[in-house]
């Protein structure tokens, strides 16, 4: 199924399948006669054979060295997702394919166990959810992320979690076990408190108030929890920044962060088309404001400025964030250091134990 620009599919962030940047050709369907929503196509799960699971980060403006991604693609369907271009490497569309064709890694936990057991492994916190959400809907049945958490708990390995999903509450037992040794903290991503905006922009994610409740439940259970107001989109949801932080603080969040909207590669036209379809009266203003915080362009890939933007509007957003953090007593996520000294490789079948003195 290939739908024309301006089409809407219930339960999906985008309807079109624009070609990735490596494609040699692209098919463009004719414009639709009406804007009647189409029933969402079923999600296709594609098991993937892997040799490694830990990704290493060398970007100076990302506060972690290692990450694990149980899935490629994401059912949440967030229209702005910066991970969408990764599907182009699979010769798939960063549009509908990204949220419909999900690559799963059934052997992720076993491979992770092997990598953590290597003699030369150096313990550094692993981030879950850096690329696509590790607790997206398919995780409810596949439980790949839970298996990963079980391995991390066994190795006493620190983990930092970013998620939009209330499904993370399912794993409260493992999170509490890790939290007792300062081995985990959770960032709940809250983009908006507006149910209608959330429905259009992040169709298969938990609702805004449900995410706030997740912060409340995790915090009450002793899990260090924070809020990530991301992405902030000038002219669309940036006016909600203070309310998001206030609601999160009331729910027990201890730290906070924010990220300005990023539109790398194919995300730029996907987001622009969505904006014209869903908010035609706001589209021109929103795009103009994005250019004002991106040096006249719609995207800035430079380290440092890509997360925060530049210019007066970006500076004002940073000042508002800092003031709200002071008001609610938030610290920055990077200040919530996790303990790497408890890491151990557990003895297993065939493992040679250390000789006793």
Q: Are 244 and 237 within 8 A, CB to CB?
A: no
Confidence at residue 25, expressed as pLDDT on a 0 to 100 scale? 58
DSSP state of 242: H
Provide the token pair at 323. Answer: 């003031």
Q: How far is CA 96 from the centre of its chain?
A: 17
Rounded Cα gap, residues 262 and 279, in angstroms:
19
Provide the token pair at 149. Answer: 């958490």
Reported as a single tens digit per residue, the pLDDT across 233-281 is 999 999 999 999 999 999 999 999 999 999 999 999 999 999 999 999 9
For the residues 323-328, what does the mean pLDDT come to? 97
Confidence at residue 357, expressed as pLDDT on a 0 to 100 scale? 39
Average pLDDT, rounded, for the chain = 91
Rounded Cα gap, residues 290 and 282, in angstroms:
12
Rounded Cα gap, residues 76 and 133, in angstroms:
8
Where does the pLDDT of residue 296 fall: very low under 50, low under 70, confident under 90, or very high at 90 and above? Answer: very high
Beta partners for residue 269, in sequence order: none
Q: How is the chain split among helix, strand and coil, in percent rounded to 5? A: 35, 15, 50
Q: Are 52 and 114 within 8 A, CB to CB?
A: no
Confidence at residue 34, expressed as pLDDT on a 0 to 100 scale? 55
Rounded Cα gap, residues 31 and 27, in angstroms:
13
Residue 288 scores a pLDDT above 80: yes
More reliable by pLDDT, 27 or 124: 124
Compute the half-sphere exposure of residue 230: CA atoms within 13 Å on the CB side of its CA. 20
Rounded Cα gap, residues 297 and 289, in angstroms:
10
CB within 8 A of 112, min separation 6: which ones? 53, 54, 68, 148, 151, 152
Rounded Cα gap, residues 275 and 272, in angstroms:
5
Q: What is the DSSP string of 167-186?
A: GGGGGHHHHHHHHTTT-EEE
Residue 342 scores a pLDDT above 80: yes
Confidence at residue 39, expressed as pLDDT on a 0 to 100 scale? 67
Residue 16 scores a pLDDT above 60: yes
- Using CA atoms in the order 322, 327, 332, 336, what is the torsion angle rounded to 10 degrees? 170
Confidence at residue 3, expressed as pLDDT on a 0 to 100 scale? 60
pTM of the predicted model as reported, rounded to 2 decimal places: 0.91
Reported as a single tens digit per residue, the pLDDT across 104-138 is 999 999 999 999 999 999 999 999 988 899 999 99
Inter-residue long-range contacts of 280-289, CB under 8 Å, 24+ positions, other chains counted = 282/235, 282/236, 285/235, 286/233, 286/234, 286/235, 286/236, 288/235, 289/234, 289/235, 289/313
Instruction: Spell out the alpha helix ranges (H) of the chain.
Output: 96-100, 108-116, 139-142, 144-154, 172-179, 195-201, 208-220, 241-250, 267-278, 283-293, 305-308, 312-328
All domains in the chain, ordered by first residue: 44-335 (3.20.20.70)
Q: How far is CA 233 from the centre of its chain?
A: 16
Confidence at residue 27, expressed as pLDDT on a 0 to 100 scale? 52
Confidence at residue 28, expressed as pLDDT on a 0 to 100 scale? 54
Residue 349 scores a pLDDT above 60: no
- Bridge-based pairing state of the strands 101-104 and 71-72: antiparallel
Where does the pLDDT of residue 5 fall: very low under 50, low under 70, confident under 90, or very high at 90 and above? Answer: low
């Amino acid at each position: 199924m290939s739908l024309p620009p301006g089409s809407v599919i219930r339960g999906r962030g985008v309807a079109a399948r624009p070609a990735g940047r490596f494609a040699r050709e692209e098919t463009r369907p004719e414009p639709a006669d009406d804007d009647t929503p189409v029933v969402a196509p079923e999600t296709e799960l594609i098991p993937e054979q892997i040799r490694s699971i830990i990704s290493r980060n060398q970007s100076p403006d990302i506060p972690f060295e290692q990450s694990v991604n149980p899935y490629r693609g994401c059912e949440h369907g967030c229209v702005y997702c910066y991970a969408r271009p990764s599907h182009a490497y699979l010769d798939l569309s960063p549009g509908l394919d990204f949220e419909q064709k999900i690559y799963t890694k059934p052997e992720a936990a076993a491979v992770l166990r092997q990598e953590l057991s290597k003699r030369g492994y150096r313990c550094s916190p692993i981030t879950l959810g850096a690329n696509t959400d590790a607790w997206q809907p398919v995780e409810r049945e596949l439980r790949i992320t839970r298996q990963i958490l079980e391995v991390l708990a066994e190795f006493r390995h620190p983990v930092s979690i970013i998620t939009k999903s209330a499904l993370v509450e399912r794993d409260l037992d493992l999170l509490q076990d890790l939290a007792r040794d300062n081995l985990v903290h959770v960032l709940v991503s809250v983009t908006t408190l507006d149910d209608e905006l959330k429905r259009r922009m992040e169709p298969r994610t938990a609702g805004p108030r449900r995410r706030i409740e997740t912060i409340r439940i995790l915090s009450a259970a002793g899990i260090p929890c924070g809020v990530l107001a991301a992405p902030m989109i000038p002219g669309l949801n940036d006016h909600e920044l203070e309310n998001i932080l206030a609601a999160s603080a009331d729910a027990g969040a201890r730290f906070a962060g924010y990220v300005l909207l990023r539109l790398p590669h194919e995300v730029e036209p996907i987001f622009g088309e969505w904006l014209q379809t869903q908010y035609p009266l706001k589209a021109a203003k929103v795009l103009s404001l994005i250019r004002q915080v991106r040096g006249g362009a719609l995207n800035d890939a430079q380290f440092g400025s890509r997360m925060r933007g530049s210019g007066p509007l970006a500076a004002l957003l940073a000042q508002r964030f800092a003031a709200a953090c002071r008001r609610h007593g938030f610290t920055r996520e990077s200040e919530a250091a996790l303990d790497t000294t408890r890491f151990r490789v557990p003895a297993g079948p065939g493992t040679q134990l250390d000789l006793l003195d």
